[in-house]
Structure 1
Amino acid sequence: MAVLYAAGAGAFAAIRGGGIELSLEGMGAGCLAVDPEDPWLVYTGTHEEGVFRSSDGGRGWERAAALPHRRVTALAISPRDRTLYAGTEPSAIFASRDGGESWRELEGLRRLPSAPTWSFPPRPWTSHVRAIAPSPADAGLLLVGIELGGVVRSPDGGASWQDQRPGAIADCHALAVHPAEPGLVYEAGGGGFAESRDSGESWEVRNEGLRHRYAWGLAVDPGDPGRAYVSATSGPGRAHGQGDSGAAIYVRRDGRRWEALVGDLDAFPYALATAPDEPGVLYAGFGDGRVCRLGGGGLREVATVPGGVAALVALPEGF
């Protein structure tokens, strides 16, 4: 089974060999990123305490340098040059080339013409960076999803920005660039699923077979550009409310039509992840804290994280 890192409001969890190690308990972790060259090097962003860094797979943590905004809502690391990106609320994006020891704001994001219109419905006076997707082929190419404000694009590492991309879903929840086909980019959002085949320049909504249109979790099969996964339900109340979510996890095997893998789920699957050494296997992290493996034997629980799961990364066994 893959090694899993999970982040949630109650704790960070490292799940290895059937065991679970908890850390950062009660710190409000909400997002995470793993160094592409060193899987022991992990970063997590918290709701109120900024960014933390671990060099031993989550056993010990230290604070990264402070950001102007303490609510960190997205993290990503460039596979090309290992630049660490952090997105915040209010919407801003910062880059670090020294592992979080120092940060530089990519200020052009806040100067985009659409920026004054960005607004997150539960807190309409603000918005936040929900997703960051660096290109695995071009160190300068960066896609950023704003909740609620759409998908914007920088071709030069944040020096300049292109405003909301045509066809992208405005209520962006997740972005993913396919590692084997870098021009192929996926988005999950409040409106379903969209894809771009030109590195995020233009987008097309592709909801064929997707019965639920409030999509959140997103994962790609690293060996198959035609296979993608999303989690979705009927709306934000079902996803984030107290009752049954009624959600489903969908797969698109042929690059065209979605089909449900599992449905009528009590808890909402906020985070989806695939591991490169387990083709056809999906991991899901739920709002009730369960982490499950979805493969040939159906949905099987592998661990429980206190306080729920907001972000999940799957790594090869024995990395």
Structure 2
Amino acid sequence: MPTGIYVGTDDGLYILGAERRVELPGRRVRALAAGHEGLCAVVGDWEIFTSGATGIWRHVARLREARVTCVHPGPDGILVGTAGARLHRVEDRVVHALEGFDAVDGRAKWHTPSGEPPSVRSIDVDEDGTIYASVYVGGIPRSTDGGLTWQPTVDSDEQVFQVLAVPGNGPLLAATARGLATSWDRAQSWNHRTLGLAGTYCRAVAVCGDTVLLTASPTADGTSPALYRGGLEGVRFDRCDKGLPETLSGTIDTFCLSAAGSTAAFGTSEGAVYVTQDAGRSWELLADDLPPILCVLVRE
């Protein structure tokens, strides 16, 4: 896939680079993920599309039982999270349920504050092949055997919006309602970082080298968001303000912040996209006229 900033919206996929173009017009692109062979997208509530080097989108699966919330493509297929907190794997266009996820300890306590069923908010896989799934609300179950069995890591009452495995010798990061959770021992223990944050509701996290970028809001609904940066091994976060408005409109949800190298971008529910080329030190407005933004992916 070409380099650029891919922005999934309520009305198509926008690619922002030297020029602007739109793919999947008229379709709601809810989540994006990069794999070895190209991109994977959640389109609408039920469908999964992939796009390879040619840039042609192909329909690969449709889940009929539950709304798709996130995807993670890998060599063994596409991991798929859904509402109702279920996991599946798509292999050769066939959908297989990961039944071991339904038996994880503590699952009976999973819930949401609104009373709706819990959901899998994000999936990531570390370099050892361990799978992590963030559940709202249910913590971060993990699997070390390819998804056959699962074990809880953090408390099942933890409100986790996104989990991110930093490559190399990096930590495991999680954007939670209590700030940024960090583990340096593969989820055996965690600490929460909040110093410098004006609010602790963190919905999205990305990494530029040794810099963490984090969204945080003082409210559970994600309004009045701000963007912060700090060191991977640091303690304090500093608010990003150079090139950004004093107050950001709308929300910056999970999947709406992405980074690659020293480049990062985020999008808001109001249709604005901001980009940085220096790991969050300074920002510039890239677009402010897009449909409501649901996901962002930076490709270098």
Q: Normalised by the size of structure 2, how large is the TM-score?
A: 0.87
Which of 239, 245, 248 is the matching residue for 1:260?
239
Matched residue, 2:189: 202
Match in the other structure for 1:272:
257
In structure 2, what is the equivalent of residue 27 of structure 1?
Answer: 27
- Alignment counterpart, residue 112 of structure 2, candidates 117, 120, 144: 120
C-alpha distance 29-146 of structure 1, shift in aligned 2 (>3 A): same
The partner residue of 2:68 within 58, 65, 72 is 72
Give 1:97 shift: 4.0
Q: Aligned equivalents of 1:63 and 1:118: distance in 2?
A: 32
Aligned to 2:82: 88
Shift of 1:125: 3.6
Question: Are residues 1:102 and 2:91 paired?
Answer: no
2:121 & 2:190 partners in 1: Cα distance?
18
Equivalent residue for 1:178, pick from 142, 166, 173 = 166
- Matched residues, percent identical? 22
Give unmatched runs, 5+ long, in structure 2. none
> How far 1:169 moved relative to its partner?
7.2
Change (3 A) 1:4 1:61: same
* Corresponding position of 1:211: 198
For residue 124 of structure 2, give the secondary structure of its aligned residue in structure 1.
strand
Closer/same/farther in 2, CA of residues 131 and 45 from structure 1, 3 Å limit: same
| Kept in 2: contact 1:169–1:187 (CA 8 A) | no
Judge conservation of contact 1:219–1:272 (CA < 8 Å) in 2.
yes
Choose from 43, 50, 53 the match for 1:53: 50
1:156 matched residue in structure 2: 145
Does 1:293 find its partner at 2:272? no
Instruction: From the superposition, tell whether residues 30 and 313 of structure 1 become closer, same or farther in structure 2 (CA, over 3 Å).
Output: same
State the shift of 1:89 in Å. Answer: 0.9
SS of corresponding position for 1:48:
coil
- Between the aligned partners of 2:181 and 2:14, the Cα distance in structure 1 is 31
CA RMSD of aligned residues (A): 2.4
Structure 2 counterpart of 1:146, one-letter code: V
Counterpart position of 1:10: 11
Matched AA of 1:257: R
**How many residues are treated as equivalent by the alignment?**
290
Q: Report the secondary structure of 2:61's partner residue.
A: coil
Q: Distance in 2 between matches of 1:209 and 1:57?
A: 44
Cα shift readout 1:162-215 (whole Å, capped 9, x = no counterpart) = 02x136871111111111225x11000222110111122322112122221111
- Deviation (angstroms), 1:57: 6.7
Match of 1:309 in 2: 293
Q: Aligned pair in 2 of structure 1 residues 216, 305: CA closer, same or farther (>3 Å)?
A: farther
TM-score relative to the length of structure 1: 0.83
CA distance in 1, matches of 2:101, 2:282: 43
Q: How many Å apart are 1:293 and its aligned residue? A: 1.0
Q: Cα distance, 1:32 vs. partner?
A: 1.1
